[in-house]
Structure 1
């Protein structure tokens, strides 16, 4: 007897289920492991302790996925619940989602020489001991430059940021000392624009995010989503009487929601090599899958295998104990917490000040993503212990 036209076949039901799984970030199936309830308990405990109002966690092992949203966008009683599609300010994850891969793509095309001097691209930076800085030094945070640009006297715009960066004096000879520095990646973002002729946000959108189908990822989300889209974005800092605070530039009661939290990136109108990307956990998961597959996903090549190797394996100059790839953290002091106690040295990732983590273990083909707004409302919450717990549990979730 023929099947009525309105009744779906088993094959079509299976196909629909697969589509649903893909839309929720599940590549092959649900990750089911005794560690998963402990992940839920860790997140609920952190939310209950007001460490963060809400978050999204995505854990993936060889295609099996666990993804869940927790809490609310803020602590207000009527706040919207977090969804797996909630957009978060990724802070310094921007360095590895946008800036480093953009530089490496341009290097693949012969437009950037990773071993060239910074001053060969920016002659105005040839002073203050910066003459020996190479592009590799910037990517591995071994340039000797200070950690960040000064906020005073007041300044605004990309050109002002560039002038300030080029006016800095190194504290150590380039290639001899590790210091995590936003200035390194601000200069790299400006390098992308100079050699490509495209602003960093446009280059990253057209060459990384769009081809990778990271549909919710980019700079300046309100420009893409409209002001009404702010309700779908987790808020970060709220202005208060904070003289001397890094965010003393916020008016009392002013809420950053869809506007970048990082004050330097905000002075640069929301687009910087150091910060500014907004994203979702499922988009970051696509990026992680691409790296685990040697730079290709769904038949689309984003990076060459060599670029992935450079980004994700130790490239720090000899004699520097802190190990960094050309983008990813491998074994610097910042790696200890997100790596947890099980993932080995050789796994890699990055964190973001707003409460974000991407950590990947290529050996077990496991990674986890945490997106949160732990900086709401005053950036005083500490979630480093949570990073350690999640890193450990993510590794345990990959165990038989």
Structure 2
């Protein structure tokens, strides 16, 4: 494995610490950075405009995040908000451009949602400590990669090389990499806390379990993978996992409020989670929510970390910096680059690095892309790190307070990531502005030309910046009567552009302007329109169209830059970014 690490030549590893576009890329969504940030980058507070961001999309997202501490986005849910409270941090290029707190860290008295008297409620604060749930998996994964870097672990070696007791019942071939990428075949979860009487028997149950599917043939997100890796770390280091994480990550990075089993002295700063009756724990606060982690003494590879938004911001910037922060290095850039690559190409719906989830619209929103990494936690937490824009978004809620049955907060996760993405600029290719789709879920917009009278076949050229869910297409359509519209085949070039002839444009992650050409058969009179349609969720950063030129036999029929009045927008907007 050491030899493999030494030969990694990814842009992120080779160019760590250098900015590919310099200040020209600041605040840009359409200028993806191939390299890590400088290892000397230290977080500082700055207003969005100082680093080239538009504050309006951020403000709109934070308004929603705050609103949902009082109401639910589903109008049919009238008896409780989306979550009790939230803390957020947004940052770009080393600048923390937004911090917000809303709602309550402690709000309810019981599982039914009986509100405490106002005097007994505890508001969310910047230093509120949250149970991070599965975000803990990142800490375990980072420690494993430290052991890889030190030559103590080979990612392609069977886990049984290090834990002989694991290599039974069909698990003999499972590798360390398969545990990190959730391709081991192990079932997602078993109730260790209720089926087994003590910690040794619970660990042994994980060592004994047989895989559900043949290792390497299926993706199944599994807590057991990371529980196993936590045991592996302890075996190889001779220390408890909490001590290893403290010694190798949190203390060097000065993450002062991050760790397992927080002390009683910090209880007044900890957000409450669920009122549990099985096991009969009452309102859980200051003890890990996850029942299996709780039954393992609060320290496990899959859950158990408590942290604050400020501490997680340090970890996020450390990742963006290529593994170091304020002079402390937790991983070499080439090791981190390997960790952040997609190792699940065989399972395209589940791109995954070593520990990090990648390119997931459902919680990353419009920040999602092949070089966007992060993780969520069941308690209502998430961390999104976008290497391409050197930005990160942190949303911490206690959404299981007082009950996990109150539902998902994925809409809030998506909203925050999209707000930051839309604050980043997409600069026009021609002139001062471009046409921007500007629509949300379950919508459509059209940009229609005036009626044209060509003498022959029509040629259309334009530039398109497309960042949308694959099911949200941009189509160029033609009509001879203004009523019936027919898609026009397109040929596209540019980074990430589709090959061959296509009838619509969609997709995300490439973050590049495309050059588009189309040929329209002759008609005595013809009208063209750009038609963008979205489904019920996940609209991405949106669509820009610019530089529209329509000709026939060299004769100019329409120049969108000089004749914008000949384009009739329905929900499209002229935008300078």
**TM-score normalized by structure 1?**
0.86
Structure 2 CA distance, aligned partners of 1:388 and 1:320?
A: 20
Aligned to 1:64: 95
Return the match for 2:358 from 330, 334, 337.
330
Give the match's secondary structure for 2:105.
coil
Larger of the two Rg values belongs to structure:
2
Q: Contact 2:141–2:354 at 8 Å: present in 1 too?
A: yes
Deviations 1:90-142 (A, max 9, x none): 0000001x200110111111111111101111221222211110000000000
Q: Contact 1:29–1:63 at 8 Å: present in 2 too?
A: no
Cα 1:153/1:208, change in 2 over 3 Å = closer
1:397 aligns to 2:439 (yes or no): no
Return the match for 1:36 from 58, 61, 64.
58
Q: Contact 2:361–2:368 at 8 Å: present in 1 too?
A: no
Structure 1 CA distance, aligned partners of 2:217 and 2:378?
A: 26
Aligned to 1:285: 313
Equivalent pairs, count? 359
- Report the Cα offset of residue 187 of structure 1: 0.3
Q: Contact 1:156–1:267 at 8 Å: present in 2 too?
A: no
1:294 aligns to 2:336 (yes or no): no
- Report the Cα offset of residue 82 of structure 1: 0.9
Q: Contact 1:90–1:277 at 8 Å: present in 2 too?
A: yes
1:48 aligns to 2:89 (yes or no): no
Q: Contact 1:149–1:161 at 8 Å: present in 2 too?
A: no
1:306 aligns to 2:334 (yes or no): yes
Alignment of 1:172-183 (within 5 A): 172-183=213-224
| Uncovered stretches (5+) of structure 2, i.e. residues with no partner | 1-41, 50-54, 72-80, 108-115, 426-576
Give the match's secondary structure for 1:133.
coil
Cα 1:118/1:295, change in 2 over 3 Å = same
Structure 1 CA distance, aligned partners of 2:415 and 2:349?
A: 25
Give the superposed CA RMSD: 1.7
Give the match's secondary structure for 1:261.
coil
Aligned to 1:346: 371
- Report the Cα offset of residue 190 of structure 1: 0.5
Return the match for 1:237 from 264, 268, 274.
274
Q: Contact 1:189–1:200 at 8 Å: present in 2 too?
A: yes
Give the match's secondary structure for 2:366.
coil
Return the match for 1:265 from 283, 288, 293.
293
Return the match for 1:374 from 386, 391, 399.
399
Give the match's secondary structure for 1:186.
helix
Give the match's secondary structure for 1:170.
coil
Give the match's secondary structure for 1:339.
helix
Deviations 1:316-372 (A, max 9, x none): 2645642100010014xxx23112135323311100000011011111111100111
Q: Which moved more, 1:72-81 or 1:273-282?
A: 72-81
- Report the Cα offset of residue 35 of structure 1: 1.3
Deviations 1:5-46 (A, max 9, x none): xxxxxxxxxxxxxxxxxxxx9515133511122122111221
| Uncovered stretches (5+) of structure 1, i.e. residues with no partner | 1-24, 241-247
Aligned to 1:243: none
Q: Contact 1:186–1:274 at 8 Å: present in 2 too?
A: yes
Q: Contact 2:193–2:202 at 8 Å: present in 1 too?
A: no
Deviations 1:210-251 (A, max 9, x none): 0011111000102xxxx24211100101134xxxxxxx1124
1:250 aligns to 2:275 (yes or no): no
Structure 1 CA distance, aligned partners of 2:399 and 2:329?
A: 34
Aligned to 1:112: 153
- Report the Cα offset of residue 63 of structure 1: 2.0
Return the match for 2:186 from 126, 131, 145.
145
1:186 aligns to 2:203 (yes or no): no
The runs of at least 4 aligned residues of structure 1 exceeding 4 Å deviation read none
- Report the Cα offset of residue 291 of structure 1: 0.6
Give the match's secondary structure for 1:67.
strand
Q: Contact 1:366–1:398 at 8 Å: present in 2 too?
A: no
Cα 1:206/1:387, change in 2 over 3 Å = same
Q: Which moved more, 1:273-282 or 1:62-71?
A: 62-71
1:383 aligns to 2:405 (yes or no): no
Q: Which structure's residues are more often helix, by fraction?
A: 1
Give the match's secondary structure for 1:35.
helix
Give the match's secondary structure for 2:86.
strand
Q: Contact 2:250–2:258 at 8 Å: present in 1 too?
A: yes
Structure 1 CA distance, aligned partners of 2:146 and 2:237?
A: 10
**TM-score normalized by structure 2?**
0.60
Structure 2 CA distance, aligned partners of 1:259 and 1:319?
A: 36
Give the match's secondary structure for 2:275.
coil
